């Protein structure tokens, strides 16, 4: 079996940046599963499908076409039926409801299968909420990345400001706390640390330090 590095943790914990940089450094494929749940959410919103089981949802999932565009050296783009939805999947509308769609067992079943297929034959760094517990329970390396709520909200605010959007820290903290709760208490594949995952608290770490720790561990164990 190829090497799998599983990185789980709550929103804005630094998972994505860490996963992207670790994948680049190791030459592994980067699989951002949160982007897939976000793309399904965009598809459902476009069809006015509420977050509940329905035949229309089953059909949408059957026909779902999500691709990652890995061309070039820039950020990975997310394509929904060929259309670039990289910006839309990070919109406030999607942030507000993605937890409701990702709690649906139909959605999870379909996406877990797509994630496992995407990893076939590849060395991957896969990030999400249930990677070490459900998607790749046999992953050789598992990390659970956490950080204080305030630190996470500050990081999100800085990201938004860098992109030219003003954001209120208190509101961001409330939004993150709400999403953490929804992801943690849901019935199907809740956000939980796998027993054999290494917990990494990044509250006081720079991105470089986080990446270094993950890489050191992966190389140590792979050697
Ligand atoms: O990592 P993110 O913020 O982009 O994830 C968006 C949402 O998708 C998040 O609220 C929880 C859900 N998600 C999930 O349920 N399982 C995953 N493996 C990844 C994300």
DSSP string, 44-63: HHHTT--SS--HHHHHHHHT
Check residue 76 and give its pLDDT.
83
- 11-50 burial: b if 16+ Cβ within 10 Å, else e: bbbbbbbbbbbbbeebebbbbbbbbbbbbbbbbbbeeebe
Region 185-197 average pLDDT? 90
Ligand 1: centre distance to CA 78 (Å)? 15
Burial of 195 from C-beta contacts in 10 A (0-12 / 13-18 / 19+): exposed
Whole-prediction pTM: 0.93
Check residue 81 and give its pLDDT.
95
Instruction: Check whether 222 has a pLDDT greater than 60.
Output: no
Question: Closest Cα to atom 4, ligand 1: which residue?
Answer: 34
Phi, psi of 36 (to 5 degrees): -70, -45
Region 158-175 average pLDDT? 91
**Atom of ligand 1 at shortest distance to CA of 11?**
3
Which token pair is 56? 């229309």
Task: List ligand 1's pocket residues with C-beta within 6 A.
Answer: 11, 33-34, 37-38, 98-99, 102, 128-130, 179, 183
Distance from C-alpha of 132 to C-alpha of 126, rounded to nearest angstrom? 9
- Map out the domains of the chain as residue ranges: 4-222
Check residue 73 and give its pLDDT.
58
72 — pLDDT class (breaks 50, 70, 90): low
Ligand 1: centre distance to CA 223 (Å)? 31
Check residue 1 and give its pLDDT.
66
**Atom of ligand 1 at shortest distance to CA of 89?**
4
Instruction: Check whether 221 has a pLDDT greater than 70.
Output: no
Pocket test of ligand 1: the residue of 17, 43, 98, 104 to mutate, having most ligand atoms within 8 Å of its CB, is: 98
Ligand 1: centre distance to CA 33 (Å)? 7
CATH class of 4-222: alpha beta
| pLDDT-above-90 percentage for the chain | 77
Burial of 75 from C-beta contacts in 10 A (0-12 / 13-18 / 19+): exposed
Give the tens place of pLDDT for each residue, 7-59.
999 988 989 899 999 999 999 999 999 999 999 999 999 999 999 999 999 99
């Amino acid at each position: 079996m190829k090497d799998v590095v599983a990185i789980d943790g709550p929103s804005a914990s630094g998972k994505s940046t860490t996963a992207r940089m670790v994948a680049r450094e190791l030459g592994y494929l980067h699989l951002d599963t949160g982007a897939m749940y976000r793309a399904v959410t965009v598809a459902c919103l476009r069809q006015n499908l509420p977050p509940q089981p329905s035949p229309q949802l089953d059909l949408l999932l059957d026909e779902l076409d999500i691709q990652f565009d890995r061309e070039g050296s820039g950020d990975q783009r997310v394509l929904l039926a060929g259309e670039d939805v990289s910006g839309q999947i990070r919109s406030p509308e999607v942030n507000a409801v993605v937890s409701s769609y990702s709690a649906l067992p139909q959605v999870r079943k379909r996406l877990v299968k797509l994630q496992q297929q995407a990893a076939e034959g590849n060395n991957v760094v896969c990030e999400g909420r249930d990677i070490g517990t459900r998607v790749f329970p046999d992953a050789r390396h598992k990390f659970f990345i956490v950080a204080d709520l305030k630190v996470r909200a500050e990081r999100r605010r800085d990201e938004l400001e860098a992109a030219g959007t003003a954001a209120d820290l208190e509101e961001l903290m409330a939004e993150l706390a709400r999403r953490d709760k929804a992801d943690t208490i849901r019935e199907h594949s809740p956000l939980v640390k796998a027993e054999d995952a290494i917990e990494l608290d990044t509250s006081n770490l720079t991105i470089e330090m986080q990446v270094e720790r993950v890489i050191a561990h992966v190389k140590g164990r792979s050697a």
